[in-house]
Structure 1
Amino acid sequence: MNVLVVGANGQVARHTLTKLSEKGYRPIAMIRDEEQANELKQLGAVETMVGDLEQNIDHLFTIHQIDAVVFAAGSGGHTGADKTILIDLWGAIKVIDTAEKYGVKRFVMLSSMGTVDPDKSDRIRHYLVAKKLADEHLMRSSLTYTIVRPGSLVNEPAQGKIKLEEEIKVRDNTITREDVAIVLADVIERENTFGQTFEILNGDTVIQNALDNV
């Protein structure tokens, strides 16, 4: 199965390439700079394609048959609201619409905890609004989606255990980027996660068991 990873040079996405490859998928990495290609191939990408979410992206879906998409792109914490709108919202909508156009069936969205009610956050409200609108566009599409909303991310080794709920009320923990990647790779063919949206933090339940109970 060819899995297009959008935003493949991001920290979570780099782990995701490796996890997808380990599970036997063929991850195809969308990158903005050809100089990133060799390193991402070492992480597990079988192919890289240069693309810009602010431009036409049809070629990402016509060069190879794409069976599934993992959208892991983000404008980053050092950009303004304008880039958040262009990448996290408009870029996501563009990928969703283009995936539909070319007959892709499966779509996994890396979103964010807090999108249920962005008004609860002042500091990153524009980011959460963008994510919420992108998630809702995906829900209205014909794609078979799963929306994964992690909490605060940390660069530590995977714990292999998470807390998973539709909306986590007590947010007393963080989650490693590697654990998020494990979830993203694991849900690709898990039918019980189709059409589901959930939040995750590191917790006490083995990832596979938590996903079994979605």
Structure 2
Amino acid sequence: MDFLERQKPMFTKQELDIISNSTVLIAGVGGLGTHQALELQRVGVNKIYLIDSDKIEMSNLNRQVLYGQEDIGKFKAPTAKESLDKFALGTEVTAIIEEISAETEIPEDVDLVLDALDNFASRYQLESLAAEYNLPLIHGGIDSWYGQVTTIVPDETPSLQEIVGGKKEDNEVIPAFSPVVSVIASLQVIEGLKIILGRENNLKNKLLLIDLNDYSINEIEL
């Protein structure tokens, strides 16, 4: 028995093969990104790229689950890789210390991009890169008890800028609570798997809105 035995009944043999051969790029290795990386490793993807230029701060530790106090001051991407590698579950992890920009190059083996960024300027840049490489992008965002998820596919769905109305930064520090971050990151991973598996019940042309304070869930057609 391997560690994936309990999830096998949920997928066909062909789908399991797709998952085990898939490569995912996580842009941002903070709250959303560390949760996403843990879950992608646990579902058995082949490879994960982690890209982030930030260093770990004390205020990160309430939600960024691959770091501890001994990691403060270290770069996030290689530290997250080190934590994941300790589990020895077979997923190859590559860390890239880089800020998302127009010069960022997405490796040619990437099948899917997960948005784990914390500002819209970087998200718009990531969206442009995903479109350039013709890759699906799973957007997720949180604000206090609230979160949202949608899938953006070049030439198939509205762009993120169209969905959020070209929102700009207001430099406000957004409240972040680990259980909420975990839920949204999990939904992004589930949605990403549906997209690479070609399942129809996905969030293309839909925006999923969740308020975990009152447990309200809304799905908006785009």
Q: What TM-score results when the alignment is normalised by the length of structure 2?
A: 0.53
**Does residue 1:47 correspond to 2:94, yes or no?**
yes
SS at match of 1:194: coil
Q: Alignment partner for residue 102 of structure 1, among 122, 133, 147?
A: 133
Structure 1 counterpart of 2:133, one-letter code: Y
2:122 corresponds in structure 1 to 91
Q: Distance in 2 between matches of 1:186 and 1:28?
A: 18
Does 1:177 find its partner at 2:181? yes
Greater Cα radius of gyration, structure 1 or 2? 2
Do 1:146 and 1:196's aligned partners in 2 also have CA atoms closer than 8 Å? Answer: no
Residue of structure 1 in register with 2:116 after alignment: 72
CA shift for structure 1 position 41: 4.2
State the alpha-carbon separation in 2 of the partners of residues 7 and 110 from structure 1.
Answer: 12
How far off its partner does 1:40 sit?
4.9
Paired with 1:111 and 1:143, the residues of 2 have a C-alpha distance of 21
Q: How does 1:22-37 map to 2 (within 5 A)?
A: 22-25=42-45, 26-32=47-53, 33=75, 35-36=78-79, 37=81
**Equivalent position amino acid for 2:114 in 1:** V
1:101-120 paired onto structure 2 within 5 Å: 101-104=132-135, 106-112=136-142
Distance of aligned partners of 1:55 and 1:199 in 2 relative to their CA distance in 1, 3 Å threshold? same
CA, structure 1 residues 47+145, in 2 after alignment: closer, same or farther (shift >3 Å)?
farther
Partner residue of 1:82?
none
For the aligned residues, what is the CA RMSD?
A: 3.9
Is 2:78–2:96's contact at 8 Å kept on the other side of the alignment? no
Q: Cα distance, 1:71 vs. partner?
A: 0.7
Q: Partner of 1:165 in structure 2? A: none
Q: Tell me: CA distance 1:21–1:203, structure 2 relative to 1, closer, same or farther (3 Å).
A: farther
Structure 1 unaligned blocks of 5 or more: 75-87, 115-130, 157-175
Tell me the secondary structure at the aligned position of residue 46 of structure 1.
Answer: strand
**Superposed CA offset, 1:166-200 (max 9, x none):** xxxxxxxxxx3222221111111333222221112
The 1-side partners of 2:85 and 2:159 are apart by 26
1:19 — aligned with what? 39
Question: How many residue pairs were aligned?
Answer: 148
Deviations 1:111-163 (A, max 9, x none): 2469xxxxxxxxxxxxxxxx9xxx8xx8694366898x9x964234xxxxxxx
| Alpha carbons 1:109, 1:145 under 8 Å: kept | no
The answer to whether the 8 Å contact 2:24/2:48 transfers is yes
Question: Which residue number in structure 2 is paired with residue 170 of structure 1?
Answer: none
